[in-house]
Amino acid sequence: MSRSNNSSSAKDFLSDVEKRSHQNLLECLQCGKCSGGCPVASEQVPGPRQLVAEVLAGLKQKALSNPLVWHCVCCGTCLIRCPVQISIYRVSSALCEIAHEEKMAPSVPDINLFEVLFLKSVENYGRLKELRTIAEYNLRSGHFLKDVDKGIRLMLKGAISPVEIVKGWEKDKRVSSIFEKARKIG
């Protein structure tokens, strides 16, 4: 592939992310104030400054597989600290969307699985059914005993009721229909 093709696909990627996220990433000063306040940035999860740098450089595969895209908790700290008001969670959401459309395997599969199960519970039952969701998450992720101790403590305090396992779960058609309409809108 020629150099000009490379640079035009890098520009296409940048403008696609800017369009989807409604952010002007060219204004980024690379000051790092966002990374300094990001609660999920660590040695394993690069901070938001690096994510923006990857998008600006047109490093599509690197940006799409950046773990921050999955770890971002949409807290908005980066936006508050940014001198040019760039909202990184909008950038992360745009990258998630592109990765999903391109059928890329999520770089952090466990977070993706949890998101899928969370939304499935809300769609089916109108709210998060903790026990059911966590049981399915543990089974499907292979972390069979993950957080079992916390679950038992929550049950003992009455925050989670084991009765719902016996009673089963009632579906909430009103919420399901909202999901259905959203799918039709696309």
Q: Is 63 in the site for ligand SF4 (CB under 6 A)?
A: no
User: How crowded is residue 95: how many other Cβ atoms within 10 Å of its Cβ?
Assistant: 27
- Interaction between residue 182 and ligand SF4 (CB under 6 A): no
Cα–Cα distance for residue pair 18/42, rounded to 1 Å: 25
With CB under 6 A as the rule, give the number of residues binding ligand SF4.
28
In whole angstroms, give the CA distance from residue 61 to residue 75: 25
8, 76, 170, 177: which one binds ligand SF4 (CB under 6 A): 76
- Contact letters for ligand SF4, residues 83-112 (x by CB under 6 A): xx-x-xx-----------------------
Q: Which of 40, 108, 113, 131 binds ligand SF4 (CB under 6 A)?
A: 40
With contacts defined by CB under 6 A, name the span among 46-54, 112-120, 148-156, 173-181 that binds ligand SF4: 46-54
Q: Are 29 and 69 in contact (CB under 8 A)?
A: no
Minimum CB separation from ligand SF4 for residue 76, in Å?
Answer: 5
Would you tell me how many other CB atoms lie within 10 Å of the CB of residue 65?
18
At residue 3, φ and ψ (nearest 5 deg) are: -65, -40
Say which residues have a Cβ less than 8 Å from residue 163's Cβ, sequence separation at least 6.
none
Binding site for ligand SF4 (CB under 6 A): 28-34, 37-40, 48-49, 52, 72-78, 81-84, 86, 88-89
